[in-house]
């Protein structure tokens, strides 16, 4: 066992080990949260505790692939967060919380509940560095209010987290502890973050296969199609193609929205004419190919993520590339993500697969 004095932040670790249940880590990007988690896990493991980690950083995931909120259960010391195997995850379908606040909140709550159901002695929740603007502040406050962590660990360089923390400072239930940011923490460039995300996608999709799903027996949700909408007939597709001056392969009216599938995204022309003809207030064009999807099973369990390689709703066909090794029939719902995998990453995945 490593002596306690060898741990940095030993006082916080000891207090959480003795009196805590859920620790919520809060901080901007590049503040050392990942290293702190590793040290905290090892301290708690030395005490014989079973630790659950919820990785809510969907853009720079350490547990599970990017675009997901991952969970892992740990009973022994670790060398690196990267070495941790994901036990479960929630597919958000994006690499930033912006415009995806609800899935981020739902996903982190489900992963925390899952960890508690496994009788984790302590839970550690990592979050994104999205903390500065009004949306980021509201998101973090909502997560804290929903999850009710008894420890909030603040990684602040100056006072950038105070708009979030001020709401909870006078409630005795919350133990807010300021964590000193190490001088060894270095800033990561956007290019580095992008290359890390690419590496993780390539690793995740390394052993993938193409799966064909029948849309007559598979539910759909998410960014694109709402199953239950009314498909437009061939004459309507021909008319829309003439109006927008671009071939339209499929269109569906769902509530007050008309969704148009096109081979390549382009700016729609004559929107007013389309809205008037179909009595809708919103017209959306989509190109689903290469978008990420979440594969969801019988018990609403998120089984795998995939990449759309073919989508023909008129023929009730969806094809995805995924490392999922189970039966296709066990996939009961496909959730469309908003993130489109870059073509160079997909090409690399395909080359390795073939």
Three-state helix/strand/coil letters over the chain: CCCHHHCCCHHHHHHHHHHCCEEEEEECCCCCHHHHHHHHHHHHHHCCCCEEEEECCCCCCCCCCCCEEEEEEECCCCCCHHHCCCCEEEECCCCCCCCCHHHHHHHHHHHHHHHHHCCCCEEEEECCCCCCCHHHHHHHHHHHHHHCCCEEEEECCCCCCHHHHCCCCCCCCCEEEECCCCCCCCCCCHHHHHHHHHHHHHHHCCCCEEEEEECCCCEEEECCCCCCCEECCHHHHHHHHHHHCCCCCEEEEECCEEEEECCCCCCCCCHHHHHHHHCCCEEEEECCCCEEEEEECCCCCEEEEEEEEEEEHHHCEEEEEECCCCCHHHCCEEEEEEEECCHHHHHHHHHHHC
Q: Are 30 and 123 part of one and the same domain?
A: yes
- pLDDT, position 183: 79
Q: Are 213 and 294 part of one and the same domain?
A: yes
Q: What is the mean pLDDT of the chain?
A: 92
In a domain, 202, yes or no: no
In a domain, 201, yes or no: no
Q: Are 268 and 162 part of one and the same domain?
A: no
Asked if 166 contacts 43 with a C-beta cutoff of 8 angstroms, the reply is: no
In a domain, 114, yes or no: yes
List the structure tokens of 263. 């081979």
User: What CATH number is attached to the domain comprising 68?
Assistant: 3.40.50.300
- pLDDT, position 265: 59
Q: Are 153 and 53 part of one and the same domain?
A: yes
In a domain, 200, yes or no: no
Q: Are 109 and 219 part of one and the same domain?
A: no
CB atoms within 10 A of CB 237: 19
pTM of the predicted structure, to 2 decimals: 0.92
By C-alpha distance, which of 116, 102, 180 is closest to 148? 116
Assign residue 99 a region: left if phi > 0, alpha if psi is -120 to 50, beta otherwise? Answer: left
- Backbone φ and ψ for 339, nearest 5 degrees, come out as -85, 130
- Backbone φ and ψ for 333, nearest 5 degrees, come out as -150, 140
In a domain, 176, yes or no: yes
In a domain, 199, yes or no: no
Cα separation, 26 vs 201, whole angstroms: 26
Identify the domain containing residue 315 by its residue range: 209-223+289-353
Strand partners, 91: 68
Q: Are 145 and 103 part of one and the same domain?
A: yes
Q: Are 17 and 127 part of one and the same domain?
A: yes
Q: Are 318 and 341 part of one and the same domain?
A: yes
Establish how many alpha carbons lie within 13 A of residue 333's alpha carbon, considering only the half-sphere containing its beta carbon: 18
- Backbone φ and ψ for 254, nearest 5 degrees, come out as -130, 105
- pLDDT, position 266: 66
Q: Are 10 and 58 part of one and the same domain?
A: yes
Q: What is the pLDDT of residues 174-201, one digit of tens each?
A: 999 999 988 788 888 999 999 999 999 9
Q: Are 297 and 177 part of one and the same domain?
A: no
User: What CATH number is attached to the domain comprising 319?
Assistant: 2.40.30.330
What is the number of structural domains in the chain?
3
- pLDDT, position 5: 42
Residue after which a domain boundary falls, among 261, 286, 311: 286
- Computed on alpha carbons and rounded to an integer, the radius of gyration of the chain in Å comes to 23
Q: Are 320 and 249 part of one and the same domain?
A: no
In a domain, 219, yes or no: yes
In a domain, 198, yes or no: no
Work out the end-to-end distance of the chain between its first and last CA atoms, rounded to an integer number of angstroms: 46
Give the mean pLDDT per block of 10 residues along the chain (354 residues): 57 97 96 93 97 97 96 95 93 96 97 97 96 96 98 95 96 96 85 94 94 94 76 94 88 90 73 92 89 96 97 92 97 96 90 66
| Measured CA distances, 326 to 179, 181, 295, 323 (Å) | 43, 44, 11, 9
Q: Are 91 and 126 part of one and the same domain?
A: yes
């Amino acid at each position: 066992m490593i002596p306690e004095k060898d741990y940095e932040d030993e006082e916080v670790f000891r207090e959480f080990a003795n009196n805590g249940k859920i620790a919520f880590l809060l901080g901007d990007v590049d503040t050392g949260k990942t290293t702190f988690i590793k040290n905290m896990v090892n301290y708690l493991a030395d005490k014989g505790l079973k630790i659950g980690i919820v990785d809510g950083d969907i853009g720079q995931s350490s547990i599970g692939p990017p675009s997901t909120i991952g969970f892992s259960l740990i009973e022994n010391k670790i060398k690196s967060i990267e070495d941790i195997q994901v036990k479960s995850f929630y597919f958000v379908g994006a690499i930033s919380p912006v415009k995806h606040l609800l899935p981020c909140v739902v996903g982190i709550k489900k992963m925390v509940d899952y960890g508690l159901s496994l009788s984790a002695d302590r839970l550690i929740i990592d979050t994104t560095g999205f903390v500065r603007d009004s949306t980021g502040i509201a998101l973090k406050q909502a997560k804290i209010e929903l999850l009710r962590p008894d420890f909030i660990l603040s990684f602040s360089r100056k006072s950038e987290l105070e708009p979030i923390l001020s709401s909870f400072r006078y409630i005795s239930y919350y133990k807010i502890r300021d964590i000193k940011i190490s001088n060894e923490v270095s800033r990561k460039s956007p290019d580095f973050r992008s290359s890390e995300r690419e590496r993780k996608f390539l690793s995740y999709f390394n052993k993938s296969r193409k799966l064909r799903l029948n849309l007559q027996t598979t539910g759909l949700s998410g960014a694109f199609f709402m199953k239950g909408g009314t498909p437009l007939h061939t004459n309507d597709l021909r008319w829309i193609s003439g109006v927008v001056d671009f071939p339209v392969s499929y269109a569906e009216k769902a509530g007050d929205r008309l969704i148009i599938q096109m081979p390549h995204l382009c700016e729609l022309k004559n929107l007013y004419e389309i809205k008037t003809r179909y009595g809708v207030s919103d017209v959306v064009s989509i190109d689903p190919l290469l978008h990420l999807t979440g594969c969801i099973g019988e018990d609403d369990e998120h089984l795998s993520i995939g990449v759309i390689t073919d989508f023909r709703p008129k023929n009730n066909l969806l094809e995805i590339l995924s490392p999922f090794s189970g039966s296709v029939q066990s996939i009961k719902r496909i959730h469309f993500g908003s993130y489109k995998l870059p073509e160079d990453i997909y090409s690399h995945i395909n080359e390795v697969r073939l």
